[in-house]
A and B are shown apart, each in its own frame.
Chain A
Amino acid sequence: MNLALFRCCVTSLRLRHYEDSTNAVLDALGVGFEDVADFGCCGYPLKNFDFKAYVLSSARNLALAERESLDMMTSCNCCYGSLKQARAILEEDADLRREVNGALAKEGLRYDGDAKVLSVLEVFHDLLGTEAIKERLQGTYKGLRVATHYGCHLLRPGNVVDFDHPRAPKKFDALVEATGARSVPWTQKLECCGSPVSGVNDELSASLGRAKMDSARQAGADLVCVICPYCQIQFDWVRGTAVPDSEEDKGVPSLYYHQLLGLCLGLDDEALGLAEERLRTTGVKRALRPVKKDSDEGATSAA
């Protein structure tokens, strides 16, 4: 399967290290991908404003991938959900498809729905498989408890995105556990991070974020693990800015899945952009043990 990596607008300016860590992890796992220079916005930010403009934006990217005979791989949930929903809408609505194709024809593009949309987690879980990932690990975590955060648009609407069971998903947990960490149950696991109303209703946004963190802490998690950059902004950037090193919040930092996995693949801090995270994640590295030395409890390999 030939994949185009669809990079989220949010990461290109503000979260460059996510792009870097994504590149590094995909390389380390031998997942080949291409960059399509003309990719634009998925249209997610337009949903509130003009649903049709959103569908058109998504369709343009799908048509670009189609032109290159590539399938699309996203790591942002919002891009993933938006692209998949646009596909579903265009699948059903021939009139809209005609209209959209009229606009795309100006750029010499055409949407036929040939390009599939995959979350990078689907690539890891369904295409590579957890066993294949485990074989490549140079280190695994021992005793690390992770609150796995799926993020809304990876799961819902379930009939549209069809990533996993929308109310009892397992794939992301399996991927987290492939690193040796334990994915702990937590009550707020499938709830929204609060980011969509950040800047609209900050109080609400912060309260939703706090509820998630409280839940993760109550579940005894050492770390929250996310895949969507919006969620990571909410859990790391907003919290890191608002409550720098505050006592109550010390407990649960958050990492991007690529960073969690990358450490096990032997990638260094710089390749994974760990220094860019605002909340300290040194505890994660302390839990890392070299592979095949499981019996050697004393050795810490925090390299």
Chain B
Amino acid sequence: MIDTVLLYVALAVFALGSVYRMSAWVRHNVRTDTPAASPWARLASALQGVASTLFSAKFFTLLRVFVVDAVLQIRILRRSPYRWIMHMCIYGGFMLLLLLHALDAHITARLFSGYQSSANPYVFIRDFAGALVVLGVLMAVYRRFVGGPRRPPTRDADTALIVVLAVILLSGIMLKGTKITSYTRYQEMVDEYGVILDEEETKLLEAYWVEEFLVASPNMEGPFDDRALEKGEALHEMACAECHPKPYWAFTSYAFAVASQRVAPTLDQQRFPDFMWWVHYLACMIGLAYIPFSKMFHFFTTPLSLMTNAVMDKETADPLNLATKQMMELDACMHCGACTLACSVGIAVEEVPNEYILPSEKIPAIKELAAGKPLTPQKERLIQQGLHLCTTCNRCAEACPAGIQLTDLWLAVKETLLRKGIPEPLLLSPLSVHRSVSVKERLGAEDYEKPLESVREALGTGSLAELRRDPAPLAVPGPEKLFDAAERWMKPEVYATCYRCTTCTSACPVVRDDPEGAEKLGLLPHQIMYAVKLRQWDLIFDSKMLWDCLGCYQCQEQCPQSVQVADVLYLLKNRAIARAMENGPSGQEEGVI
């Protein structure tokens, strides 16, 4: 009775949770360029998109993707056979358990008229499926906690899923194992099916079960003589064998039964099988209710993401659906870390302590952003930095087993964060060419230019001022500090030999581009070299020249004194950014690994 109530409670939580989670797809948005629309309008638009796809030739694409990528998971196989075996064990085993065992009354019993949960092949298949999941989970644990390079940091959600699965599986194995040895259980069965047996026969049967089925009988103990066992076997064949193959068919539970044989009578007395049943049942109910709030939801969202991305063209799609799709994709991520393993700039975390460089760690942060959770400015800045270190090489998206269009996501969220007005030093890098060629036309002139102006200003004044907690005086690094990180390349002689001949400035294409406007550049290259000698840091960092420098190395090539002019400029940029970061929030609290 109470178990049925629990089942309905779990189902209700599952259903409501799923609706709540899916509602976020139309309630939230990571983009800045979506026309204003109510959640209902977005839902209507999404349903319309789904309907028009289903009744078009694209249906066959959906079907193919469903079979190849969602069921057979060929995308995973191509990237890593280890992960494919691991995932197939968990997924295949879990599906078997769900359909054959958990829903046996509704599915298996209807399909197979002779279904008996304790009979073969069902008992073997169930145990085999359980063993598959256990194997898969062990492989997952190994991969997550032991093996593999640059593995993604493990989050609570990853551990939680492994724990829930482990409890369900282990309690199931232990339940069946203690049922094997339980004398109470045996007695119940004899009372029900052995009524025709006389007292002598009952003893013979019991002896056979103690010997062959590991039943922990308080009445007798082996070894028994062969004749008695033969008779017992005959009785077993008559009364029990139809439903009870030898216990080793349930091999995992059998292993537990053998291992626990010594304590089996005590376990039985303490009604351990009943207890285990409740543990197993409750774990399943908790698991069911937890699905919409956990990584297990990817069970539904990953196939959805794969199929949607196979038929949706972002150039022609309804912008409302694009926003909805990107929200859905966030839920399709199961934090497997394939993207992080493939990430071109993943190595940078060794030097730049920011976990949001790794694509797998950006996703949960973006979910929080999209949901409008208040994040600390430090965290927002770190997320923004992680996004801007991305080279948009798209390897993450190619590696993603859920087919999430990650690069599109990064580009969208970049603009959303920039709009919040956090200055981003990495905007002043050659990678901004992407913003210029692919994002500019979608943005208004103001949204495009403003972040550039604000970061130039922040670097000039030496602080990400808007983020400063309290108005502290500008910290100007001492000369010894300027090149501390870089000093190994920047021995004083590399700039000290400069005799201000101005060859570097004459060679500079930036200066030459607008000779009359040169004063707008602040210090010119030869002046910067001299200012380094004079420790005029403020003058240097406030020079637009620094950020207009192309890194073309004309200055360095032409210098008669072999001053590494361009490299010094690079290091000055590094230092300007570091100074601004130091004067902003420390960034050492969250998201730092």
Contact = CB atoms under 8 A, between A and B. Distances in A.
Q: Which 8 A-B pairs have the closest CB atoms?
A: A199-B432, A9-B393, A156-B553, A199-B436, A13-B394, A53-B351, A192-B552, A9-B391
Interface stretch (B89-97, B234-242, B341-349, B470-478): B341-349
The residue in A13, A89, A106 that gathers the most chain B C-beta atoms within 10 A of its C-beta is A13
A103 interface: yes
B431 A45 contact: yes
A36 interface: no
13 contacts: A9-B391, A40-B344, A46-B389, A52-B486, A89-B489, A103-B350, A152-B550, A156-B556, A156-B557, A191-B554, A197-B550, A230-B430, A234-B433
Interface in B517-570: 547-548, 550-554, 556-557, 564, 566, 570
Contact of A50 (B352, B438, B551, B566): B352
B570 A44 contact: no
Interface in A28-57: 40-41, 44-53, 56-57
B436 A204 contact: no
Given A52-B351, A152-B552, A195-B430, A47 B557 contact: no
B149 interface: yes
Interface of A: 9-10, 12-14, 40-41, 44-53, 56-57, 60, 78, 89, 93, 95-96, 103, 106-108, 152-153, 155-158, 166-167, 191-192, 194-202, 204-205, 207-208, 211, 230, 233-234, 237-238, 241
B509 A192 contact: yes
Given A49-B429, A238-B437, A200 B547 contact: yes
Given A48-B425, A57-B347, 17 more contacts: A9-B344, A45-B430, A45-B431, A46-B345, A49-B574, A49-B577, A51-B485, A51-B570, A56-B347, A106-B150, A153-B553, A166-B557, A167-B557, A196-B551, A199-B427, A201-B547, A207-B514
B458 to A, nearest CB: 14
Interface size class of B (residues with CB under 8 A): 35 or more
A52 B550 contact: no
A78 B431 CA distance: 12
B570 A47 contact: yes
Nearest to B452: A200
A84 B309 CA distance: 39
B428 interface: yes
Nearest to A166: B557
What's the dominant secondary structure at chain B's contact region?
A: helix
B513 interface: yes
A155 B440 CA distance: 31
B508 to A, nearest CB: 10
Given A41-B344, A49-B429, A95-B488, A152 B551 contact: yes
B480 to A, nearest CB: 18
Nearest to B562: A159
Given A56-B350, A166-B557, A238-B437, A48 B510 contact: no
A12 B486 CA distance: 32
B314 interface: no
A167 B350 CA distance: 38
Contacts of B434: 14, 199
A13 B425 CA distance: 24
Nearest to A58: B347
B407 interface: yes
B348 A53 contact: yes
Given A44-B430, A95-B488, A196-B430, A158 B435 contact: no
Given A51-B486, A78-B430, A196 B550 contact: yes
B326 interface: no
B197 to A, nearest CB: 66
A202 B438 CA distance: 13
B338 to A, nearest CB: 13
B207 to A, nearest CB: 59
B573 interface: yes
B557 A157 contact: yes
B393 A13 contact: yes
Contacts of A53: 348, 350-352
Contact of B574 (A51, A158, A191, A234): A51
B443 to A, nearest CB: 12
A211 B348 CA distance: 36
Most chain B C-beta atoms within 10 Å of own C-beta, residue among A10, A45, A60, A205: A45
A41 B347 CA distance: 9
Contacts of A194: 550
A12 B552 contact: no
B119 interface: no
A148 B570 CA distance: 28
Contact of B345 (A57, A166, A200, A230): A57
A230 B510 contact: no
Contacts of B343: 40
Interface string B40-81: 000000000000000000000000000000000000000000
Most chain A CB inside 10 Å of its own CB: which residue of B150, B432, B550, B577: B550
A149 B571 CA distance: 28
B407 A13 contact: yes
Contact of B570 (A48, A96, A200, A237): A48
Contacts of B344: 9, 40-41
B394 to A, nearest CB: 4
Contact of A156 (B407, B430, B554): B554
A2 to B, nearest CB: 23
Given A106-B149, A198-B437, A204 B351 contact: no
B392 interface: yes
